Amino acid sequence: MFSHPSGLKFEEEEEAIHVVHMNIMSSFPHLLGPSMHFISNWRISFSTKLANETSS
């Protein structure tokens, strides 16, 4: 379980990101392809960054 400076637990933050993402998707369906790619890349780099910070 990660803690985050915002006070959110990591899982809650993941859920919040997901909700925002789904809202964006339903509002802008034409962005579906590019933003899915962007979001998944961002989440991978975010997770990697967190893992690096916690392991060091």
- Read off the pLDDT of each residue in 2-23 and give the average, rounded to a whole number: 68
Q: What's residue 46's pLDDT?
A: 81
Q: What is the mean pLDDT of the chain?
A: 71
Q: How far apart are CA 29 and CA 33, in angstroms?
A: 9
**Contact (CB, 8 A) for 13 and 4:** yes
Burial class (CB within 10 angstroms; exposed 0-12, middle 13-18, buried 19+) of 37: exposed
Q: pLDDT value at position 1?
A: 44
Instruction: Read off the pTM.
Output: 0.29
**Has residue 4 got a pLDDT over 80?**
no
What amino acid occupies position 33?
A: G
C-alpha 44/C-alpha 33 separation (Å) is 17
- φ/ψ of 28, rounded to 5, equals -130, 70
pLDDT tens, 20-33?
877 877 777 666 66
